[in-house]
């Protein structure tokens, strides 16, 4: 482990802290003694690595100069306190040596930042300064600060580590303003707490949009005033429940939805609510079909149903394309009007997603489909929101306001026939979020049988969709005629047919979402399986393994990623010379405990082998962090220093020095 930085006189240190450190080396040079570039995802626009390092010490403070920076400073403190055990007070005023300074001002280097999300970060041996024009920019910089520290900084409990960062100057801002992750809580219910955990995890990678798919054929998940049946009946379904006995479904109260929106906002994420219409809504139709005594309806709500089955039938499979609401029914508009009114009122973001996907013309003709989408678009606009929908909403006959957003999900690329919806969207002056299923669908299997009982294969076939597929494409050239003039960003969609628990969701989402986070944030570059950008990404992705493990994020330890061994000191005790308890904690993604070999140099002239123990991977669950322990009796009293070294096939060895108490 690197040594702690030396102390320097306060006045000198202060002077150094207030000037930009001299940079002696440029990014990613291959020179033998070049400093290692930091392992940050998404890759910053520009990183310059200097000599030396900054060490976060116990007495550090987080300093702001304006109240507007306070919430971000508190967020930074919240990230750093648990693992360091430091107080890290947030104070107003001028920084002293060793402090972290968050300044809301234009550093003058962010002229190319179109979204006000950029930041400039400098570290020197005596301090850290983060500057941004907006709190969101500061918050993005805070995520980079976390990744400059050792992975154990994400530990929920105190860890003994050297909290050092390289000396760097980073100038950074996003390529796209929309960087989304979609979660489908309709096919399987997820509680607000699970969604909040996903927000925590996605925010670390500068994802700024959470698209919540709250309704589909199998479930309606948010209580609506005036329409209690929507959740009393509609929340009971899930995919594969075989009659509502195995999986009780569930729904959120409006207060719960508001708390998720607020939690997202505190992580600088905007929630885009989606109630899929006119198809994919058998849950709504089945709930309201017999709602004959509802005073808001006209006593004959059966006329909302234009689906293939009349009366509607609950269908607990993942089947699509059989349900539809009728555009001619007043009851349809009463129900949709209430939903849109209530959801938009609770969602401060600019978008409302009306779904719009997969309605076969045998169920609703294109004319009727278009008339429904057009009228619904007007309702959404009337509530001050921009329409968003799956790219079918750009199809023939639709006339949505310029700037409405089509989410392009078809795998088709170039000018093949499936690209028509994207081309139509451009013709109609709509904006596009790129989400081609074979590069962004987080519910698709990584490989044909991985994971065994989770994930679909329709978009990726037997080759699967691992991180290579998610990384190696370009949103601005994927479809002919669709460029960055049209594209506002990218999104990963986590559909819920097969994912029951948050653990399932995490396994499918990570690490692939990080590829999309990088496509959404980092500058355009050539990205192919043989490109330097992809190799570089894989190396930085490997460094995230210990972070996922430390904060308890389940993930797929993809064989495409050169995962690393990472070690940190544990807290062994010594009693009458006898050592007990683990010496170190090991992160070894994808490596069975028995495949890792530990040796311990006890620092007294003896070296023995150590034991690596923990829980091996099971299908759809990554292995645990491991404990490294060893048996030793010191014959001399006093403080001892041992070195733990771990090797495993295919990985560089890792070592950590442990101080054993006297």
Does position 534 interact with ligand TNX (CB under 6 A)? The reply is no
Q: In the complex, what is the shortest distance from the CB of residue 493 to ligand TNX, in angstroms, rounded to a whole number?
A: 7
Q: In the complex, what is the shortest distance from the CB of residue 443 to ligand TNX, in angstroms, rounded to a whole number?
A: 5
From the list 565, 518, 523, the residue with the least C-alpha distance to 204 is 518
Q: In the complex, what is the shortest distance from the CB of residue 437 to ligand TNX, in angstroms, rounded to a whole number?
A: 6
Q: In the complex, what is the shortest distance from the CB of residue 320 to ligand TNX, in angstroms, rounded to a whole number?
A: 5
From the list 436, 518, 516, 493, the residue with the least C-alpha distance to 212 is 493
Tokens of 209: 């949009």
List 117, 497, 504, 506, residue binding ligand TNX (CB under 6 A): 497
List 495, 521, 555, 602, residue binding ligand TNX (CB under 6 A): 495
Smaller CB separation from ligand TNX, 15 or 458: 458
Q: Distance between CA atoms of 464 and 445, rounded to whole angstroms?
A: 6
Smaller CB separation from ligand TNX, 23 or 320: 320
> Does residue 80 contact residue 52 with C-beta atoms inside 8 Å?
no
Does position 443 interact with ligand TNX (CB under 6 A)? The reply is yes
User: How many Å from the N-terminal Cα to the C-terminal Cα in the chain?
Assistant: 21
Smaller CB separation from ligand TNX, 123 or 410: 410
Smaller CB separation from ligand TNX, 71 or 318: 318
Does position 288 interact with ligand TNX (CB under 6 A)? The reply is no
Does position 446 interact with ligand TNX (CB under 6 A)? The reply is no
> Does residue 179 contact residue 205 with C-beta atoms inside 8 Å?
no
Does position 320 interact with ligand TNX (CB under 6 A)? The reply is yes
Q: In the complex, what is the shortest distance from the CB of residue 162 to ligand TNX, in angstroms, rounded to a whole number?
A: 44
Reported as type and span, the H/E element at residue 334 is helix 330-346
Q: In the complex, what is the shortest distance from the CB of residue 373 to ligand TNX, in angstroms, rounded to a whole number?
A: 14
**Binding-site residue total for ligand TNX (CB under 6 A)?**
11
Q: In the complex, what is the shortest distance from the CB of residue 390 to ligand TNX, in angstroms, rounded to a whole number?
A: 4
Does position 173 interact with ligand TNX (CB under 6 A)? The reply is no
Smaller CB separation from ligand TNX, 77 or 182: 182
Tokens of 605: 């002239």
Does position 441 interact with ligand TNX (CB under 6 A)? The reply is yes
Does position 456 interact with ligand TNX (CB under 6 A)? The reply is yes
From the list 244, 241, 214, 220, the residue with the least C-alpha distance to 232 is 220
- Inter-helix orientation angle 192-203/502-509, to 10°: 20
Q: In the complex, what is the shortest distance from the CB of residue 188 to ligand TNX, in angstroms, rounded to a whole number?
A: 11
Per-residue interface string for the shown chain with ligand TNX, residues 257-286, x marking contact by CB under 6 A:
-----------------------x------
Does position 390 interact with ligand TNX (CB under 6 A)? The reply is yes
Under the phi-then-psi rule, with left for phi > 0, alpha for psi from -120 to 50, and beta for the rest, what region is 496?
A: alpha
Q: In the complex, what is the shortest distance from the CB of residue 273 to ligand TNX, in angstroms, rounded to a whole number?
A: 15
Cα 9 to chain center, whole Å? 42
Q: Distance between CA atoms of 26 and 455, rounded to whole angstroms?
A: 43
Q: Distance between CA atoms of 307 and 368, rounded to whole angstroms?
A: 13
Q: Which residue has the tokens 């002239």?
A: 605
Smaller CB separation from ligand TNX, 154 or 443: 443
Does position 333 interact with ligand TNX (CB under 6 A)? The reply is no
Asked whether the CA dihedral 26, 31, 37, 42 is positive or negative, the reply is: positive
CA angle at 444 for the pair 442 and 448, rounded to the nearest 5°:
145
Query: The sheet that has 100-104: what strands, in order across it?
Result: 46-55, 164-172, 119-124, 127-132, 100-104, 62-64, 90-92
Interface residues with ligand TNX (CB under 6 A) are: 280, 320, 357-358, 390, 409, 441, 443, 456, 495, 497
């Amino acid at each position: 482990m690197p040594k702690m930085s030396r102390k320097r006189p306060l006045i000198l240190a202060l002077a150094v802290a207030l000037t930009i450190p001299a940079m002696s080396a440029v990014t990613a040079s291959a020179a033998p003694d070049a400093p290692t570039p930091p392992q940050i995802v998404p890759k910053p626009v520009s990183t310059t690595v200097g000599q030396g390092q900054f060490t976060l010490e116990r007495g550090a403070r987080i300093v702001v100069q304006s109240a507007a920076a306070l919430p971000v400073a508190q967020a930074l403190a919240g990230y750093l306190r648990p693992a360091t055990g430091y107080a890290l007070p947030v104070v107003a005023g001028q920084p002293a040596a060793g402090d972290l300074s968050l300044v809301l001002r234009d550093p003058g280097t962010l002229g190319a930042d179109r979204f006000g999300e950029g930041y400039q970060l400098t570290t020197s041996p005596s301090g850290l300064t983060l500057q941004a024009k907006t709190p969101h920019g500061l918050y993005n910089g805070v995520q980079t600060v976390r990744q400059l520290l050792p992975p154990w900084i994400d530990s929920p409990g105190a860890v003994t580590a050297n909290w050092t960062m390289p000396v760097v100057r980073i100038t950074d801002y996003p390529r796209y303003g929309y960087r989304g992750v979609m979660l489908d809580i309709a096919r399987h219910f997820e509680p607000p707490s699970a969604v909040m955990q996903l927000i925590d995890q996605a925010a670390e990678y500068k994802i700024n949009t959470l698209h919540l798919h709250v309704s589909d054929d199998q479930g309606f998940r948010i209580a609506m005033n005036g329409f209690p049946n929507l959740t009393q009946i509609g929340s009971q379904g899930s995919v594969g429940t075989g009659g509502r006995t195995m999986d009780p479904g569930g729904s959120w109260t409006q207060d719960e939805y508001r708390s998720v929106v607020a939690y997202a906002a505190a992580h600088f994420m905007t929630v885009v609510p989606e109630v899929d219409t006119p198809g994919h809504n058998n849950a709504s139709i089945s709930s309201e079909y017999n709602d004959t005594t509802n005073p808001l309806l006209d006593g004959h709500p059966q006329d909302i149903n234009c689906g293939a089955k009349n009366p509607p039938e609950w269908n607990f499979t993942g089947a699509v394309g059989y349900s539809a609401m009728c555009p001619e029914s007043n009851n349809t508009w009463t129900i949709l009007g209430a939903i849109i009114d209530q959801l938009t009122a609770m969602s401060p973001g600019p978008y409302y997603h009306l779904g719009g996907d997969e309605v076969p013309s045998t169920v609703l003709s294109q004319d009727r489909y278009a008339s429904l989408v057009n009228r619904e678009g007007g309702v959404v606009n009337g509530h001050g929101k921009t329409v968003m929908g799956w790219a079918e909403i750009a199809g023939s006959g639709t006339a949505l306001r310029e700037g409405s957003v089509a989410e392009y999900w078809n795998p088709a690329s170039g000018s093949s026939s499936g690209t028509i919806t994207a081309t139509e969207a451009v013709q109609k002056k709509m904006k596009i979020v790129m989400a081609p299923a074979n590069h962004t669908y987080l519910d698709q299997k990584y490989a044909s049988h991985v994971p065994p009982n989770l994930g679909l294969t329709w978009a990726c076939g037997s080759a699967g969709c691992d991180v290579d597929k998610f990384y190696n494409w370009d949103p601005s050239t994927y479809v002919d005629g669709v460029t960055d003039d049209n594209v506002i960003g990218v999104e990963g969609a986590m559909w819920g047919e097969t994912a029951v628990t948050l653990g399932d969701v995490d396994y499918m989402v990570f690490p692939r979402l990080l590829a999309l986070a990088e496509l959404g944030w980092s500058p355009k570059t050539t990205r192919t399986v043989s490109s330097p950008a992809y190799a570089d990404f894989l190396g930085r992705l490997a460094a995230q393994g210990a972070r996922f493990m430390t904060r308890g994020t389940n993930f797929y330890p993809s064989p495409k990623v050169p995962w690393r061994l990472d070690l940190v000191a544990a807290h062994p005790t010594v009693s009458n010379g006898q050592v007990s308890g683990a010496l170190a904690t090991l992160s070894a993604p994808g490596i069975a405990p028995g495949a890792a070999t530990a040796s311990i140099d006890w620092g007294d002239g003896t070296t023995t082998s150590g034991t690596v123990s923990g829980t091996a991977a099971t299908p759809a669950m990554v292995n645990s962090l491991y404990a490294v322990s060893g048996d030793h009796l010191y014959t001399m009293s006093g403080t001892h220093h041992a070195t733990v070294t771990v090797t495993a096939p295919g990985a560089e060895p890792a070592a950590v020095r442990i101080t054993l108490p006297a």
